[in-house]
Amino acid sequence: MESKSSNEAEASVIANNKIHFSKEVKHVIDKVLKSDDPMDAPDFNCVDYINQLFPNEQSLVTIDETIQRMQCEVSLIDDNIRSVVRGQTNTGQDGQVALCEAQKVISTLYEHIIDVKTRAERTEEMVKEITRDIKQLDCAKRNLTSAITTLNHLHMLVGGIESLEILIEKRLYGEILNPLQAITEVNQHFQQYSDIEEIKNLSQSVDKIQISLAHQITEDFKEAFSVKKSSNHPRLGLNQLGDACKVISVLDPKVKKDLLKWFIAQQLEEYLHLFHENQDIAWLDKIDKRYAWLKRHLLDFEDKFGAVFPLDWEVSERITVEFCRLTREQLSQIMSKRVNEIDVRLLLLAINKTQAFEQLLSKRFTGVTLGINNDNQNTSSFTSGGGQLLNSALVVFHDQIGSCFKAHLDIYIRSIDRNLAELIEKFVEQAKEPFKVGEAKSTVYPSSADLFVFYKKCMVQCNQLSNEQPMYELALVFKKYLREYASKVLESSIPKLLTTSTSIGKSMSLLTRDMQNLSTAAGQVIHNFLKEGDAQRFSKSDLIRICCVLTTAEYCLETVQQLEDKLKEKVAAAYVNKIDMFEEKDVFHRIISNCIQLLVQDLETGCESFLQTMSKVQWQSISNVGDQSSFITGMCANFKQTVPVIRDNLASSRKYFTQFCHKFVNVFIPKYINVLYKCKLTLSDGCNNVLGCEQLLLDTHSLKTALLDLPSIGSSVNRKAPTSYTKVVVKDMTRAEMIIKVVMTPVQPSAHFTQQVLKLLPDITIAEYQKILDMKAVKRVDQLQLIDLFKRTASTAAAAGLSDNTDSISTNAEQQNSTANALDSTSDNIMADATSTEMSTYPTNVPVNATSTPKRAFIFSVGNFTGSANSSAGDKNADNSSQSSGDRGRIRKLENLLKKRLP
């Protein structure tokens, strides 16, 4: 088979009349004519198909029906093929007829188009012939009109030059204006004919007339305003001068500029003489006299000469602008020479007077001569360097004079520095006085608000003076005295506790001072020495003052941030990135942290004596479980005495009170656990005192309840403690309970004890494990064996994935090897072996995750460690039964006690 094309079907007829299609054609046919008939398959096999229809001899019964059905299908297919072939034949004939008709229509259309094109060409030729003469006439008309216009202009130019020369000689400026404007316009028209000699001469004559006229008017003005008459011509009247100004408006703009420059200088000549730097009236203390002179002069000028100058010349405003320039230069010179005589009062007086005068000028004039278009004064506004929207009418003359004072604003900054230093000293004296919280509306020092109010006034005032370098220097002064306030007022107000050396010094001074009554003095000294071991604490007033310092530091911290934002808003863009008060905010952060630490330290100190009492209790000698111990009661009393004072005075700083509670429990609970490790719970016979363990467990649970209620203790409003705080207390205090439960577990069998330790304390370290063994008074040799077993068990559990946190145990095990080996030399100091085999084997289904153990569930979890919950009956002997009975009795007693305390 030979391929004809890759995009079209291939077909070739072979000897057996089979048609073969390409793969592409077959694929398209399969898409269009979807069929699941096996005869349509490309690999159709007749034999296989017949075998499929008649698989056995019995199926040959239906062969006649099958043959008849296939014949019907063949006949149907033949009919369909004939129908399709006939349809294709008719379609071809119809298409041929339609094609012939379309060709005839196209020929007719083409003939019509040729005819239309021919007629259009004929019409165009006719139009050209008709309009040819009209175009010639139109061109002639334009040329004639241009010639007549040019001749008229030439006549006007020649006649105008002659008439202007006569009018100029007679100084008839009122009659000169119109001809001059006409001649100027005509002269512009003839610029294109400047190559013609006669036209060139006429243009030069016009230029000479303009120059002559400008010179003559200038001389007439000087003659009119001079004191002495210098020419034979009579002085011009005000009306003639007004006409002359109108003529100048038509001439070259430089003529008007030179005339105004001379006139304004002539008007301000008196001012320069009166306020020369050698005159007393020129100094800053009499600066308002300068402005009063200009007001009088402008009124006099507008009264006398207001009608002379056109309104669009803005002569009054031009005089004012020049006055401002001269005043600025004079003040700059005189201040640079007499800088030592300038004080802040005089400087601010001059600045205030100048700013008021500039605002007055801004309201009076539009600023058009300054290049400011202020037609819409009532609606236009702009943003100053400080970001404040101001009406443009109020700033037209801003800093036209006042800019001369900016070079001396360091005097103002130094004055602010001195005032702030005096203010800080005043605040220091106020801080030494007792702060009466009851009379105050808040616990924030009033001095802090006074300081920031002063800052605000200074910032507003400096922004009016300048928002550039002086504003940045003011920010540096603010930073300086924020640190001063933090150190001299706040940090100095924090109460200090007397050190041991101080108390000894006072005791010795008492001994030497009272030599007459030696016995009394010696007794007092001995009493003081005995009290040196007692922890010193803050009084209630000291705690209140610490809280006041904290709330004041918080207020300062928030206000400093606002101050920084406002300074960046006010200062010029070039100084925005230079203003940074991070260090000052960090100072107040440090003061807050220090205050919280002192409060935590005081509350912790109040618990020291009770923790010492706890460590001295003979737990192994306790014979019954009663109410909570006295040291727990003392701790709760300490909480009730101290926490409400702190909470009430930190009512406006709730977040820092919560932080105080967090820090306290983070410090106190680990200390309580360390004291717990020192408690000895072993009887003289080496067995654990279960009653002592239960009492210690009860005390630990009572302390846990007290710590959970610590944020709202002593409050009439029962506010729920923060969730983060509750989680810390529950987690750490539950660990203390688990330590006691581990101590209650017998050491033997050691494998079971090790498993219980890892179950109850998954993240325990080798050092903590050794402390538990010390609490149980395990001998040194047995401790080493148990530690070795603990390491192996922990490593196995970590490898098997039984404990998520035992990785740290295996790591700490290597770090503690040296400690475990060193204990061999100190075995003489180890308590006797307290390993007891009297208790039955304890169950392994002890609750591990006790972070959310409710109060009543806690009662029953105790029973699981006293041998009564899941003991197997088959494993009990007589001794174990009696022991379990006694345990159950103690558990019931403990349960009743807890139900009374925890209803």
Token digits of residue 410 = 């360091």
Is residue 483 over pLDDT 90? yes
- Radius of gyration (C-alpha) of the chain in whole angstroms: 56
Distance CA 292, CA 357 (A): 9
Q: What is the pLDDT of residue 178?
A: 64
What are the boundaries of each domain within the chain? 401-496+536-599
Distance CA 862, CA 884 (A): 13
Highest averaged pLDDT of the listed ranges 18-27, 90-99, 292-301, 530-539:
292-301
| pLDDT greater at residue 486 or residue 86 | 486
Least confident of 355-359, 413-417, 812-816: 812-816
The DSSP bridge partners found for residue 19 are 13
- Rounded to the nearest integer, the mean pLDDT of the chain is 74
Residue by residue, what is the 3-state secondary structure of 745-795? Answer: CCCCCHHHHHHHHHHHCCCCCHHHHHHHHHHCCCCHHHHHHHHHHHHHHHH
CA 268 to the chain's CA centroid: 56
Q: What is the pLDDT of residue 315?
A: 87
Q: What is the pLDDT of residue 228?
A: 60
Q: What is the mean pLDDT of residues 63-79?
A: 86
Whether domain 401-496+536-599 has CATH 1.10.357.50: the reply is yes
Amino acid at 91: T
Q: What is the mean pLDDT of residues 219-245?
A: 70
In tens, the pLDDT along 524-578 reads: 433 443 344 456 888 888 898 999 999 999 999 999 999 999 999 999 999 999 9
Residue holding tokens 């007549």? 148
Is residue 630 over pLDDT 80? yes
Is residue 381 over pLDDT 90? no
Is residue 778 over pLDDT 60? yes
Distance CA 490, CA 430 (A): 11
Residue 390 DSSP symbol: E
Least confident of 157-166, 232-241, 626-635, 808-817: 808-817
Least confident of 12-21, 214-223, 243-252, 610-619: 12-21
Token digits of residue 642 = 């101290």
Residue 490 DSSP symbol: I
Distance CA 364, CA 301 (A): 15
Q: What is the pLDDT of residue 418?
A: 92
In tens, the pLDDT along 26-53 reads: 777 777 777 777 777 767 788 888 888 8
Helix, strand, coil % (nearest 5) of the chain?
75, 0, 25
pTM summary value: 0.62
Distance CA 361, CA 367 (A): 9
Cβ atoms 571, 471 nearer than 8 A? yes
In tens, the pLDDT along 780-795 reads: 888 888 888 888 887 8
Token digits of residue 389 = 């929207």
In tens, the pLDDT along 647-663 reads: 988 888 889 999 999 99
Distance CA 142, CA 152 (A): 15
Q: What is the pLDDT of residue 514?
A: 43
Is residue 804 over pLDDT 90? no
pLDDT band (50, 70, 90) for residue 739: confident
